[in-house]
Structure 1
Amino acid sequence: MSSPLALALVPLFLTGPVPATPVITPTAITQTFEEPADADDPAIWVNPRNTERSVVLGTLKEGGLAAFDLNGRTIGVYPAPQPPTPGAKPGRYNNVDVLGNRAFVSDRGRDRIRVFQVDEHGAKDITNPATKPVFSSTEQEVEKQHTVYGLAAGRVDGKDVVVTSRRNETTIALLHATGNDTEKVSTLDLPGTFTLPNGKQWTVCTEPGEGPQVEGMVIDERTSTLYAAQEDVGIWRIPLRSNGFGKPQLVDEVRTWGTPQKFNPETEECEADGPNPGFGGKWLEADAEGLTIANDVLLASSQGDSRFVAYRKANMVPLKDFRISDVEHSDGADIVLGKLDLLVVHDGERENGTGFAFIRF
């Protein structure tokens, strides 16, 4: 495990018997956000002049985008766009990532990638007003809400790129990021049906007309690799070039991978339709969610049981799992190691809403 992360966990092992799943206490938490604001995904902007004046960003869905200082205090909240016409969907900010002094936000409501300029005072929306929908060919198609969802940003082959997934679909898209706009250059469709070790075919259960979507993603700039969490499937490792994707490899599955399920129209949920055959992984309880990289370690949110799993990135060997005190059903996470040494995670279930938790090492 990378040394700063390992050192952060050492105190957990010095106070008596090692718990099966250690618990880390946050050093700060943000305010609680209530509907229509709904916290989802964080990203960390490191101030190059003064790291203690760095900024954490967090999406709030229809509540927009929030900026926080390192003590979790709110610096500003930047509203999502209003509906362009009566009856249309408003902006809905789902995921965020930082690249240099820009933040890229997936606007699920309007199927756009929004661009923000970030400094120690917060964020400013600089999106090109003429930016086009990513997946929808018309504004009418936007209203079907099969729109941008998860997001990761990085630098690959000397180019600034953004990868975004499509809500209720298996598609992910690669975009070039230039100034205040993005341009789609390639797409990849992940599978929704798999061949099990016993030779049978297994199709992921979803609502009719939908596919098993991806949300949590992170780009490993050192190896030009995308890690993508397909919620009811597991974690994919995908070679990434500036003009497209390589062959995806499923490197860990959720525990229920391969379990027969059927959709119940009355509850609008997928329910077990047979025993778990045991073909899935041992560490992730669906949904597989937020991903972030700490040097040679990949951290993943096991949302179904509110744990985080640390993998050795090179071979995806699980190193340890842990919980964060009072953090439930986490969607997103971001980590920065070095001068700042900060982990930020989404807290998906507070008494009156949602928020974010900070852990300083």
Structure 2
Amino acid sequence: MRRTLALTIAGGLLLTGTPAHAGSAHARDRTITATLETPALFDDEAGGDADADDPAIWVHPTDRARSLVIGTAKNAGLRVYNLAGRELQSIPAGDGGRFNNVDVTSRNLVVVTDRGRDRLRFFRIDPRTLRLTNVTDPNVPLLFAKDEAEVEDQATGYGLATSGTLAAVSRRHTTRLGFFTILDHGGTVTYTRRDTLDLPRAFTLKNGTTWTPCADPGEDPQVEGMVLDHKANVLYAGQEDVGLWRIDLKTKKKTIVEYVTEFGAPYTPDCTLTGPGEGGRIHADVEGAAIYGDYLLVSSQGDSRFFVYDRRTNKPRTTFTVPDGPTTDGVQHSDGAAVTSTPLPGFPNGLLVLHDGENKPDNNRPSTNFKYLDWRQLGLC
């Protein structure tokens, strides 16, 4: 998560681009509320520098009631929750570790990007005990950095999406995506890099000028939220200050599903926007990509909204927000998202888990957690 552009125009930005997606009024947003939530995590010394970021859902192979939600807590490692939101296990990131994104493969294997060390980390789920065990090969290679000295610059592994033995990983502060093959040897797990792909860092606007998103010196527009569509052999990648990309993994053809609202907007040296952009409805950052059946979901982090598209055509289907409800507070500035269409106890048409970047009550401390939502509320079953 990185919010670099400051909005100064009353009422937001005038939407001028992406005709197929523009013009969605907030008045037409659905509102759904969370069913339950996980315990608060506090990003301070007393809380162990725990900062919730990205969730994943593991469905138990024989007893769905024992399914799990696994969430990253950055410097504080991983948290493992049951379907009632109760914490079952806490796994530290270790010296220098910072767990950013998480996903689950079909082999009861949890995969994590350790952005502090520029490596993938692997944990095996025991279906009997529901405990996660570290099975990372001690000699796993660096994802992107040339050596440990370069790791210190923290242009390291960041976003993550997996499908089978394929792991797509983004590199922090760059436009680079890496594609890796997960090698499971039974006892330990490692990986090897297949390929890389660089997204654009500069863009030509309608008036013929070149535009780049505002960032600190030496930083390019990065990707975090990603999901792999194994049916179509496609990667959806959210380039945070640019838009949502659809990438054909066979041809590497890249097309934009929707630009962020701020795309093309002029800004001052301190990244304050001074005029309208050419983009669509998503307010940067674009985050939290997930797939449910024929639907693609992403988080509009800048205005705490969520957008759902038809997975096959990429046409918009609905938008929603998550305000305060009778049992939990709402969801603001959401980063990661995970969803399953498998019927689970309490969630007969599937479970949607969202990161909440501003959990309340917070006791005047930086607080985050994960919210559980019943997919039926979206009316898209």
> TM-score normalised to the size of structure 2?
0.82
Per-residue Cα deviation, 1:152-205 (whole angstroms, up to 9, x for no partner) = 0003xxxx1100001111101000001111111111110011111222211121
Paired with 2:122 and 2:267, the residues of 1 have a C-alpha distance of: 39
Q: Matched residues in 2 for 1:41 and 1:119: separation? A: 21
- Are the counterparts in 2 of residues 330 and 345 from structure 1 also a CA contact under 8 Å? yes
Q: Is the 8 A contact 1:59 1:96 kept in 2?
A: yes
Alpha-carbon separation, structure 1, partners of 2:171 and 2:80:
25
**Percent identity for Structure 1 against Structure 2:** 44
What residue number does 2:308 align with?
310
Whole-Å separation in 2 of the counterparts to 1:220 and 1:171: 19
- After superposition, give the CA deviation of every residue in 1:68-123 in whole Å (9 maximum; x if it has no partner): 000100010100021xxxxxxx1000000111110110000000000111234132
Q: Which residue of 2 aligns with 1:73?
A: 86
Q: Distance in 2 between matches of 1:53 and 1:235?
A: 34
Q: Which stretches in structure 2 are left out of the alignment for 5+ residues? A: 1-25, 44-48, 324-329, 345-349, 376-381
Q: 1:234 aligns with which of 239, 243, 258?
A: 243
* Alignment match, 1:10: none
Partner of 2:147: 138
Q: For residues 142 and 201 of structure 1, what CA distance do their matches in structure 2 show?
A: 31
Match of 1:276 in 2: 276
Partner AA of 2:283 in structure 1: E
> Deviations for 1:332-352, whole angstroms, at most 9, x for unmatched residues?
001100323110010111224
Query: Which secondary structure does the structure 2 equivalent of 1:259 belong to?
Result: coil
Q: Note the alpha carbon deviations across 1:278-312, whole angstroms, 9 max, x for none.
A: x211x201110110001111100000011111111
Check the 8 A contact 2:180/2:193 in 1, yes or no.
yes
1:167 alignment counterpart: 172
Whether contact under 8 Å (1:55, 1:122) holds in the other structure is no
Higher relative contact order (CA 8 A, sep 6+): 2
Which one-letter code corresponds to 2:177 in the other structure?
Answer: I
Q: Secondary structure at the match of 2:101?
A: strand
Q: Quick check: 1:57 aligned with 2:70?
A: yes
Counterpart of 1:354 in 2: which secondary structure? strand
1:19 Cα deviation from its structure 2 partner: 5.5
Pairwise CA distance, 1:239: 1.1
Equivalent pair of 1:207/1:263 in contact (CA under 8 Å): no
For this pair of structures, how many residues does the alignment match?
Answer: 322
1:127-276 → structure 2 map (5 Å cutoff): 127-155=136-164, 160-179=165-184, 180-241=189-250, 246-264=252-270, 270-272=271-273, 274-276=274-276
The CA deviation string for residues 302-334 of structure 1, in whole angstroms up to 9 with x for no partner, is: 000111111112222111110123111000001
Inter-partner Cα distance in structure 2 for 1:176 and 1:55: 25
* RMSD, aligned α-carbons: 1.4
| TM-score scaled by length of structure 1 | 0.87
What one-letter code is carried by the residue in structure 2 that aligns with 1:149?
Y
Residue 301 of structure 1 aligns to a residue whose secondary structure is strand
Whole-Å Cα distance in 2 between the matches of residues 20 and 236 of structure 1? 25
Establish whether residue 21 from structure 1 lines up as the match of residue 35 from structure 2.
Answer: no
Change (3 A) 1:262 1:123: farther
Alignment equivalent of 1:336, drawn from 335, 340, 346: 340
More strand by share: 1
Distance in 2 separating the partners of 1:359 and 1:50: 20
Residue 358 (structure 1) aligned with residue 357 (structure 2) = no
TM-superposed CA distance for 1:252, in Å, is 0.6
Q: Could you tell me which residue of structure 2 aligns to residue 41 of structure 1?
A: 54
- Cα 1:34–1:189 shift into 2, 3 Å: same
- Structure 1: state its 5+ residue gaps: 1-17, 83-89, 265-269
Distance 1:19 1:187 in 2: 41
